[in-house]
Amino acid sequence: MKFINLHTHNFTNSDSVLELVNQYPNEFDATIPFYSIGIHPWHIAEDRIAEDLMIIESKLKERNCLAIGECGLDKRIEIALELQLQVFEKQLALAEKYKKPVVIHCVAAFQELIEIKNRLEISVPMLIHGFSKNDLLAKQLINNGFYLSFGKYLLRKPELERIFKSIPNNRFFLETDTMEDGIQAVYSLAAKYKNIEIEQLQKQIRSNFEEVFKRDID
């Protein structure tokens, strides 16, 4: 059974892993089999927003484009939050139009994120990648319909064990993001924390994937 890597910047082309590879509109690689595509808040270029959105929309029509993102909000960068909000909301509109899930980058802006989801009545799944925060925020996000994806911080922050254990099994994913460790290392620790076999964890995440992305895994 395949491992599912919800979010990675490092395409390995491994037969044993289904990788959702992050792509940027101006650096698109057509050889990658499954990908998400979006404008990351770090990489917003005002003179290219319209062009980037056109590229994203064209790719969202393709079957192997599984999601939009990563996109989102980051209060710890110099790019104005107002501009980030505008770009994010335009991408959410595309997600709704093409019924694609959204892979989200969020730093210090979770309350804004929840407000946007509810105000715009977003119906597609929204997945927080690289979750590393506290149990109260995790519960709030789950209660507001978000999915949480865990990766490098699960490996590096032992205090996440208690939080990860509390996440309902049908509401989480695993990822590698930019780290060199393989997805198998994340699955191994996650299975230990959940007190289940890796094969059982693979089945659960496969079920979550098929529910969120509305497609079977070959």
CATH code of residue 106: 3.20.20.140
Residue 184, Ramachandran bin (φ over 0: left; ψ between -120 and 50: alpha; else beta): alpha
Helix (H) or strand (E) holding 126: strand 126-128
pLDDT digits over 52-91, tens only? 999 999 999 999 999 999 999 999 999 999 999 999 999 9
- Would residue 52 count as lying in a domain? yes
Q: Is 43 annotated as a binding residue?
A: no
- Would residue 118 count as lying in a domain? yes
DSSP state of 181: S
**Domain span holding position 204:** 3-213
pTM: 0.96
- Would residue 218 count as lying in a domain? no
Give the pLDDT confidence score for residue 218 in this predicted structure.
64
- Would residue 91 count as lying in a domain? yes
pLDDT digits over 145-197, tens only? 999 999 999 999 999 999 999 999 999 999 999 998 899 999 999 999 999 99
Please tell me whether residue 185 adopts helix, strand or coil conformation: helix
Across the beta sheet with 102-107, the strand order is 3-8, 17-23, 35-37, 65-74, 102-107, 126-128, 147-150, 172-174
Please report the sign of the dihedral spanned by the C-alpha atoms of residue 167, residue 149, residue 194, residue 178. negative
- Would residue 13 count as lying in a domain? yes
- Would residue 141 count as lying in a domain? yes
For the chain, how many structural domains are there in total?
A: 1
Tell how strand 102-107 and strand 126-128 pair up.
Answer: parallel
Q: Is 121 annotated as a binding residue?
A: no
Give the pLDDT confidence score for residue 158 in this predicted structure.
96
∠ CA 30-74-213, nearest 5°, is 45
Determine the Cα–Cα distance for residues 113 and 152; give it in Å rounded to an integer.
Answer: 22
Q: Is 218 annotated as a binding residue?
A: no
- Would residue 159 count as lying in a domain? yes
- Would residue 88 count as lying in a domain? yes
Q: Is 29 annotated as a binding residue?
A: no
